[in-house]
Amino acid sequence: MLENINLKRKLSHEDYKRALPEIQARLFELEKACWDRGKASILVFEGWDASGKGTAISALTQRLDPRGFKLYPIAAPRTYEQQHPWLWRFWTKVPNRGEMVIFDRSWYYRVLDDRVEKTIPAKGWRDACRDIVDFERALADDGVVFLKFFLHISKKEQKARFKSLEADPLEAWRVTEADWTRHRKYDEYLAATEEMMELTDTDFAPWTIVEATSKWWARKKIFDTVLSEFERQLGSDAPPRSAIPAASRAKDAELRAAMESLGQEAS
């Protein structure tokens, strides 16, 4: 499945920058509409190390109302969390009515990292796939909207990104020996990811594979997918698209220029 994805898809930075103000403004409108109508949502971000999950989430949330969403970065369970059923730590983070919850990594940690690193037996991760489908179905039946993204890059691209980060004194800390260990097991993680998707891709919580070689393409695809699904879920309750006033557009351009001058991307 993943081996057949066209990872050469690209979008220029200029095209992305031109599109960004309107899609961010539209997402803000839809966030408010979901809040007003009690439509909760869960956005799951999975993908390879260095595939751009964090920066994609940053772009997605940059112009949202912070009162309307929560972001949870997920790592291995802590000791006290291991004393509960394994999904307990995620049940405590499900969204309130109208709220958006974003997971940077998620419950899929158990069927990817735990499986490949053999920290649980084969029965453990197979049972986890069943648990995940039941978990997502229960939430979807209660009206929660699911959007699950897997950011995909090749093994060669991942290695190049690791090397690039290591060459920058200010960014080298981001690449750890654990990252390189997982990189060497790329093929094992690839097989685990494909089986995970096969077992957990459902009508109520489908996967979207994001070609992430071009970060601009990846971010635009994520925005487009989220906007389309929110509009579909809201139906006639979705607010009409509104043009950005010239004055607001000028202020927005000034802010983005200032961010770029400070070394931040026009996310």
Q: What is the CATH number of the domain that holds 51?
A: 3.40.50.300
In a domain, 221, yes or no: yes
In a domain, 55, yes or no: yes
In a domain, 261, yes or no: no
In a domain, 76, yes or no: yes
pLDDT of residue 267: 47
In a domain, 263, yes or no: no
- Residue 104's nearest CA partner among 157, 170, 150, 171 is 150
Q: Which residue has the higher pLDDT, 241 or 67?
A: 67
Instruction: Report the alpha-carbon distance of residue 6 to residue 8 in Å, rounded.
Output: 6
pLDDT of residue 241: 87
Q: How large is the greatest C-alpha to C-alpha distance in the chain, in angstroms?
A: 59
User: How many domains, in total, are found in the chain?
Assistant: 1
In a domain, 216, yes or no: yes
Tell me what the mean pLDDT of segment 107-113 comes to: 97
For the chain, the average pLDDT equals: 94
pLDDT-derived band at 124 (thresholds 50, 70, 90) equals: very high
| Residue in the structure block whose two tokens are 């909760």 | 40
Residues 6+ apart with CB under 8 A from 139: 42, 94, 146
Q: Is the pLDDT of residue 259 over 80?
A: no
Residue-wise pLDDT tens digits, 208-247 = 999 999 999 999 999 999 999 999 999 999 999 876 666 6
Helix (H, G, I), strand (E, B) or coil at 109: helix
209: left (phi > 0), else alpha (psi -120 to 50), else beta? beta
Sign of the four-CA dihedral 68, 31, 56, 228: positive
Q: Is the pLDDT of residue 34 over 70?
A: yes
Residue-wise pLDDT tens digits, 132-181 = 999 999 999 999 999 999 999 999 999 999 999 999 999 999 999 999 99
- Residue 43's nearest CA partner among 92, 102, 89 is 102
Tell me what the mean pLDDT of segment 34-54 comes to: 98
Cα–chain center distance at 24: 16
- Residue 152's nearest CA partner among 71, 215, 62, 61 is 215
Which structural domain, as residue segments, surrounds residue 204? Answer: 2-256
* E strand or H helix that includes residue 166: helix 155-166
pLDDT of residue 242: 79
In a domain, 265, yes or no: no
pTM score, two decimals? 0.93
pLDDT of residue 3: 84
In a domain, 264, yes or no: no
